[in-house]
Amino acid sequence: MTQDELKQAAAEAALDFVIHGSIVGVGTGSTANFFIDGLGRMKDRIRGAVASSEASAQRLAAHGITLFDLNDVTELPVYVDGADEIDASLAMIKGGGGALTREKIVAAVATRFVCICDATKQVATLGRFPLPVEIIPMARAQVARALTALGGRPVLREGFITDNGNLILDVHGLQLADPIAFESELNQIVGVVTNGLFARRGADTLLLAAPGGVRRID
């Protein structure tokens, strides 16, 4: 199976977690896109969706799925999204697609985070994938110095502006033995909007697709 077929298998499995009649939280990226396409087939059985990016909102709308503003939603039973890396505690690195801030906000409102991944995303220790950090543009140099002092090598994502009008620093070479503590530490750097560690609020369920099938890990 190709990596895309595995992503699609994980995404299809996540459709079983969608609560009929509810509003669904929807992530961003190629795996989430497969989920959106599946959701399109069952659009008459949901009220609609909250999107974590402009790209996902456009794809949902193209399927005729009603979009809700998160501020108008009090209950989001399920949020479905991919990840760049996920460990055994279901802590993740996210933001490869640059949507980390909205993803973290929508996930914070959701009751259950269902992560959909192909097996290449599962790691023993987070950190091989460069950690995306969304920053306020005028703080770029100051945040880069702070990240370097923490042992990382920040690289500006060239030509990329987030949906929120900010920049992304991709931080290489970090040792992420304690992702919960590090997520909090990064949040203290002035000028950081969001970091791509999803450890304090990790996934609740992982649907991990390998050639042998999709494994559920809670």
Say if residue 28 carries a ligand binding annotation.
Answer: yes
Are residues 50 and 23 in contact, defined by beta-carbon separation less than 8 angstroms? yes
Q: Is 103 marked active-site?
A: yes
Residue 177 φ then ψ, to 5°: -70, -30
In 3D, which of 209, 97, 217 has the Cα closest to residue 160?
97
Say if residue 141 carries a ligand binding annotation.
Answer: no
Closer of 47 and 123 to ligand 5RP (Cβ)? 123
Task: Spot the catalytic one: 12, 103, 134, 183.
Answer: 103
Say if residue 83 carries a ligand binding annotation.
Answer: yes
Q: What is the dihedral of CA 7, 79, 200, 98, to 10 degrees?
A: 60
Closer of 83 and 203 to ligand 5RP (Cβ)? 83
Smallest distance from ligand 5RP to CB 2, Å: 13
Smallest distance from ligand 5RP to CB 57, Å: 14
CA distance 135 to 154: 12
Closer of 83 and 207 to ligand 5RP (Cβ)? 83
Closer of 23 and 194 to ligand 5RP (Cβ)? 194
Closer of 81 and 170 to ligand 5RP (Cβ)? 81
Smallest distance from ligand 5RP to CB 4, Å: 10
Say if residue 152 carries a ligand binding annotation.
Answer: no
Are residues 189 and 147 in contact, defined by beta-carbon separation less than 8 angstroms? yes
Q: What is the dihedral of CA 153, 89, 162, 182, to 10 degrees?
A: -40
* DSSP, res 67: B
Angle at 30 between CA 123 and CA 17, to 5 degrees: 80
Say if residue 30 carries a ligand binding annotation.
Answer: yes
Smallest distance from ligand 5RP to CB 86, Å: 10
Q: CA gyration radius for the chain?
A: 17
Smallest distance from ligand 5RP to CB 74, Å: 25
The residue ranges that bind ligand 5RP (CB under 6 A) are 27-32, 81-84, 94-100, 103
Say if residue 29 carries a ligand binding annotation.
Answer: yes
Which amino acid makes up residue 4? Answer: D
What 3-state class would DSSP assign to 122? strand
Report the DSSP pairing between strands 23-26 and 76-81.
Answer: parallel
- Binding site: residue ranges? 28-31, 81-84, 94-97, 121
Residues carrying an active site annotation: 103
Binding residues for substrate: 28-31, 81-84, 94-97, 121
